[in-house]
Structure 1
Amino acid sequence: MLFKRPNSQFWWYRFTAPDGTTIRQSAKTDDKRKAQELADKHKAQLWDQIKLGHKPQFVWEDAVVKWINESQKRSLNDDVVMFRYLDPFLSGKPLNSITREVVETIIADKLDHATPGRANRVTALIRAVLRKAEREWGWIDKAPAIRRLKEDNKRIRWITRQEAERLCAELPAHLAAMVRFSLATGLRESNVTGLEWNQIDLQRKVCWIHPDQAKAKKAIGIPLNADAIAVIRQQIGQHDRYVFTFKGNPVLKAGGNAWKKALQRASIDSFRWHDLRHTWASWHVQAGTPLNVLQELGGWSDYSMVLRYAHLAPEHLAEYANRIAESAHFAHTKLEDIKKPVAFAS
């Protein structure tokens, strides 16, 4: 039965399901024919589910909505951006029809304009959603196996202090402040954009990241140096809750279009917002900060992550490098002596 509610432009439908339940739902359309088709389809699906034991068929959008509603990730905004990219490929597709072949078309498209690492981030999200649909929601019988591309181990990307100053000069004031704070603390983008005043103690010159905000799920205490303190003092009075804002609102994504345009004007290539953290670590190592101290400052749980920066400060190896120069005989031998023929005893 189709009907319209007062003050509603959409048709509604009502019917009794095979188990006796009354179904009453909006068709979300003002086209009566389409509304009837939707009602008939819904009724047929319920018959298959109740009488034949068939699972309800969910589409990609259903999974996206459930994922967003249930997610507690600090990087949820990144997921939303990737969901928008995936929409033309997966919109309207039943979850059980998203096969490895479908994902391969997405990988091919992504590789046309991005690195294997970026493609892996997108496929990792697809994999996570489909596995949840299989193992937790019970929406599909089996999630497809999705391959992971091999990523090149590229060198650490960091910039000099002169380049950092040049970049800040090209950025809007709110982003420049966030860059300076990132370079002073090494905090990740989400920790800077979500930083609240109740996480800062200016008297003790520290701030802290809660376990649910940290990548390693462990609380991090951050000592604030003079540069960080100066940036924070400039933000006082701008917002009651958040430290960094723009026009009275928290900044959801720092590395957006304004960031990219500033990089172009500053003539800095291949530099992501996350590379500010690499830059902070590189400056520390070059200034002589021990790697074990850097690990604690940066909140890394794995020491191997810190070893990536060790090559930037080889000075501590000088003593060992000189040992062979001091002990080897040829270190004190003149060049003309080396050229003389050697006389062997008969």
Structure 2
Amino acid sequence: MLSIRTRGKKGIYYIRGSVSLGDKHIEVQEFSLRTTDRDAAAHLMAEHETKLRHQLMFGPAALVAQGTIADAFDSYLSKAKPPCASDILRIGKLNGIIGDFSLREPKQAWEHFRRAYLTGHDPGGQDRYRSVFQAAINVHYDLHDLPPLRIKAIPFNNERVRFLSKEDRDRLIAAYSPHIQPIIIMLAFQGPRIQTALQIQWGVDGIDMKERSIRLNHSKNAVIKSVPMHPRLFDVLRPIWEKRGRPTKGHVFLNRFGKPYSDTRKSKIPGGNPIKNQHATACKRAGIEDFTVHDWRHHWASHCVMAGIDLITIMNMGGWKSLRMVQRYSSVSVDHMRESINKLS
């Protein structure tokens, strides 16, 4: 049975005790009802006891179902490792539209959000909202020992594969401003995402010149891999490292003002590319069309395939989370083999 009592000079009511149903029971540690009104306290205690009996009868799912989607967002934002800034913004938008919806039917809440807000968004953007919504629900479910929720991914065409010939590659690299060229060489010969490259540091947790290795923090997928440094990247970084006194910390790449590039992943408006304008100018100079900064990543993976590197190794070096995400490059191998076989006479 639950008991009620007052504590402190203000006479605030507290309850404690246990609730039983058959051979099941729940111990209730003492907690405040935050009221000095006895009738209100009695009502709150009865309401709490009803919820606990409902939980004993129907299991943890019954307790969760009494909550709202906002409760799941609270659990998600309170976890030990908080989400990235862009996901926090997405949570804010989700909470504003469906936070008051019951946890009893999360899929229906998601569909309402899609209709209310995501109409007109590209499929990839929609899927990022789906992913963070599902993650929030599952963090909350895990706290209550419930099986995870699965919401079908938004289908979208992510099969773009654009790469340059070696001649076009070198011509484009030469067209960049001198302070940008080392960044591009890293993109072309190591394949990181642009912000992974721009935020990399000197030392064993980044560019290790002594070991000729790179530890790439692919924060999008929370993957950190140490990979060998390509000789061409080593050759371009070595004079920079020597000129700065062989540092073991600090940003490797600096802008034309000698300052680190801003990390747009942490900005209030996620995304953005600090070298977008320089890239556009370089492409114009080199006569290269339909080639984005991110396409350097496609270029690197495609040339890895053409060099005979297997997809699992490419996945690990490039920081992709699953083999499915690199399977698009397998067609490059087929085209490359066809080109090679056609050279036979």
- TM-score normalised by length of structure 1: 0.59
1:114 maps to which of 115, 118, 121: 121
CA distance in 1: counterparts of 2:128 and 2:111, whole angstroms: 14
Asked if the contact 1:191–1:209 (Cα under 8 Å) also holds between the matched residues in 2, the reply is: yes
Q: How much has 1:305 moved relative to structure 2? A: 2.0
CA distance in 1: counterparts of 2:8 and 2:292, whole angstroms: 53
Q: Give the AA of the match of 1:59.
A: T
Q: How much has 1:221 moved relative to structure 2? A: 1.6
Q: Give 3-state SS (helix, strand or coil) of 1:84's partner.
A: helix
CA distance in 1: counterparts of 2:122 and 2:7, whole angstroms: 53
Asked if the contact 2:198–2:261 (Cα under 8 Å) also holds between the matched residues in 1, the reply is: no
Q: Does 1:221 align with 2:227?
A: yes
Partner of 2:157: 152
Q: How much has 1:55 moved relative to structure 2? A: 2.1
Q: How much has 1:259 moved relative to structure 2? A: 1.9
Quote the RMSD (CA, aligned, Å).
Answer: 5.5
Asked if the contact 2:86–2:266 (Cα under 8 Å) also holds between the matched residues in 1, the reply is: no
Q: Give 3-state SS (helix, strand or coil) of 1:70's partner.
A: coil
Are residues 149 and 220 of structure 1, via their aligned partners in 2, closer, same or farther at CA, if it must alter by over 3 Å? same
Partner of 1:207: 214
Partner of 2:280: 266
Partner of 2:88: 80
Q: How much has 1:253 moved relative to structure 2? A: 1.2
Asked if the contact 1:291–1:306 (Cα under 8 Å) also holds between the matched residues in 2, the reply is: no
1:160-239 to 2 correspondences below 5 Å? 161=169, 181-188=186-193, 191-192=196-197, 195-196=200-201, 197-199=203-205, 200-209=207-216, 215=221, 219-227=225-233, 230=236, 233=240
Show structure 2 runs of 5+ residues with no match.
Answer: 18-27, 56-61, 284-288
Q: Give 3-state SS (helix, strand or coil) of 2:154's partner.
A: coil
- TM-score normalised by length of structure 2: 0.59
Q: Deviations over 1:151-186 (max 9, x none)?
A: 2354325577567787x76xxx8x997665434421
How many residues in Structure 1 have an aligned counterpart in Structure 2? 300
Partner of 1:251: 263
CA distance in 1: counterparts of 2:229 and 2:47, whole angstroms: 59
Q: Give 3-state SS (helix, strand or coil) of 2:63's partner.
A: coil
Higher RCO structure, 1 or 2 (CA under 8 Å, sep 6+): 2
Q: How much has 1:122 moved relative to structure 2? A: 1.8
CA distance in 1: counterparts of 2:234 and 2:93, whole angstroms: 36
Q: How much has 1:70 moved relative to structure 2? A: 3.0
Q: How much has 1:263 moved relative to structure 2? A: 5.4
Are residues 156 and 77 of structure 1, via their aligned partners in 2, closer, same or farther at CA, if it must alter by over 3 Å? farther
Q: How much has 1:201 moved relative to structure 2? A: 1.8
2:341 maps to which of 320, 328, 338: 320
Q: Deviations over 1:180-223 (max 9, x none)?
A: 5434421246754664533232023212348x979596844231
CA distance in 2: counterparts of 1:231 and 1:108, whole angstroms: 50
Q: Deviations over 1:10-45 (max 9, x none)?
A: xx9932125285434889xxxx9xx99x98986565
Are residues 180 and 305 of structure 1, via their aligned partners in 2, closer, same or farther at CA, if it must alter by over 3 Å? same
Are residues 68 and 228 of structure 1, via their aligned partners in 2, closer, same or farther at CA, if it must alter by over 3 Å? farther
Partner of 1:278: 298
Are residues 51 and 147 of structure 1, via their aligned partners in 2, closer, same or farther at CA, if it must alter by over 3 Å? closer
Larger Rg: 1
Partner of 2:22: none
Show structure 1 runs of 5+ residues with no match.
Answer: 6-11, 327-346
Q: Give 3-state SS (helix, strand or coil) of 1:266's partner.
A: helix
Asked if the contact 2:216–2:226 (Cα under 8 Å) also holds between the matched residues in 1, the reply is: yes
Partner of 2:15: 17
Asked if the contact 2:187–2:296 (Cα under 8 Å) also holds between the matched residues in 1, the reply is: yes
Q: Does 1:91 align with 2:99?
A: yes
